[in-house]
Amino acid sequence: MTIRYDSKVALITGAGGGLGRSHAIELAKRGAKVVVNDLGGSVSGEGANSEASLGVVAEIESLGGEAMAHRADVADIAAVEDMVAQTIDRWGRIDILVNNAGILRDKSFSKVSVKDFRLVTDVHLMGTMHCTKACWEIMKEQEYGRIVVTSSSSGLYGNFGQSNYGAAKMGVIGMMNTLAQEGAKYNVKINALAPTAGTRMTEGLIEEKAFALFTPETVTPAVLYLVSEDAPTRTILAAGAGSFAVAKIVETEGIWLPEEEQSPEGIAAHWAQISDGGERALQVGYEQSIKMLGQAAAGLGLDMG
């Protein structure tokens, strides 16, 4: 079965180059009408121009597709709302949102300024929220929506010199986990991409031979799947160099400690049991509460009915 997006409208942020450009072109090839968003700034978020986004629109149109450009700064909610309004005016709906825009201000935590920390989180985390918020009610009302947030191994696992970037990239996972629940009855699905790609954001960070393997085109199939009609929801899909894996946040089964051992010394004495065994991915936050309540009831011999 071929996955296509005929009659669907897709908004891709940061689509003037790299991953976003690849996502936009491949969605257009499969029938989607595409909004190519790009502020046109540098990797560090400085400057702005429309050349990159207009170039991608021209590429899509040369392939027989439909596209429009918008240079909204995703950190500016008013600009994002204008972009969404223009999209609705032209095509009447938004079915797919890929939050891809990002910048880097890498420095060790000792050296990073509060300003640079905030700027990175404003673009990656707040920018993702702005775009998702602007599309959310539209998708709910039409009872169809597919959203991708872009996370990173730096958020999931950490990377030296990227405390700001990592904080933002883990933040979008928390947002995804909640929105997957809130969007479920409206057929609005949301997933996360954790990509490794050779782009201007990673140039110089990846060895040259490896850089050549990590093309944006090897990541884009993951996005195409995550925004398809039969996509999963609340899934973190890692992709790079043609490899794909699902990342999961898991919690050990843990143990209940009697009152006399509910102390730091008690935790230390039972650390092996607490930290190992029974790992599973909880689906909603209250599952943790239910698990711990059950353990406490069992330990105290209570019937919770």
- 141-197: pLDDT as tens digits: 999 999 999 999 999 999 999 999 999 999 999 999 999 999 999 999 999 999 987
Whether 144 is catalytic: no
Q: Which of 5, 144, 157, 165 is catalytic?
A: 165
The verdict on 119 and 265 lying in the same domain is no
The verdict on 70 and 102 lying in the same domain is yes
The verdict on 87 and 182 lying in the same domain is yes
Residue 252 lies in a domain: no
140 confidence band (pLDDT: 50, 70, 90): very high
Residues 253-264: tens digit of each pLDDT: 999 999 999 999
Residue 232 makes CB contacts below 8 A (sequence gap 6+) with 189, 191, 226
Residue 186 makes CB contacts below 8 A (sequence gap 6+) with 139, 140, 143, 145
Taking Cα atoms as reference points, which of 137, 133, 147, 150 lies closest to residue 14? 150
Residue 4 lies in a domain: no
Residues 223-238: tens digit of each pLDDT: 999 999 999 999 999 9
The verdict on 119 and 221 lying in the same domain is yes
The verdict on 57 and 178 lying in the same domain is yes
The verdict on 77 and 178 lying in the same domain is yes
What's 241's domain CATH number? 3.40.50.720
Residue 157 lies in a domain: yes
Residues 200-219: tens digit of each pLDDT: 555 566 667 777 888 999 99
Residue 253 lies in a domain: no
Tokens read off for 288: 């943790």
* Domain coverage including residue 242: 9-247
Which long-range CB contacts under 8 A does 60-67 form with residues at least 24 apart?
60/24, 60/25, 60/28, 60/34, 60/36, 63/25, 63/28, 63/29, 65/28, 65/29, 65/32, 65/33, 65/34, 66/28, 66/33, 66/34, 67/24, 67/28, 67/33, 67/34, 67/35, 67/36
The verdict on 113 and 235 lying in the same domain is yes
The verdict on 266 and 240 lying in the same domain is no
Domains contained in the chain, number: 2
Residue 305 lies in a domain: no
Residues 268-286: tens digit of each pLDDT: 999 999 999 899 999 999 8
Strands (E) in 131-181, as ranges, are: 145-150
The verdict on 78 and 190 lying in the same domain is yes
Residue 2 lies in a domain: no
The verdict on 177 and 280 lying in the same domain is no
Residue 190 lies in a domain: yes
Whether the CB-CB separation of 297 and 290 falls below 8 Å is answered with no
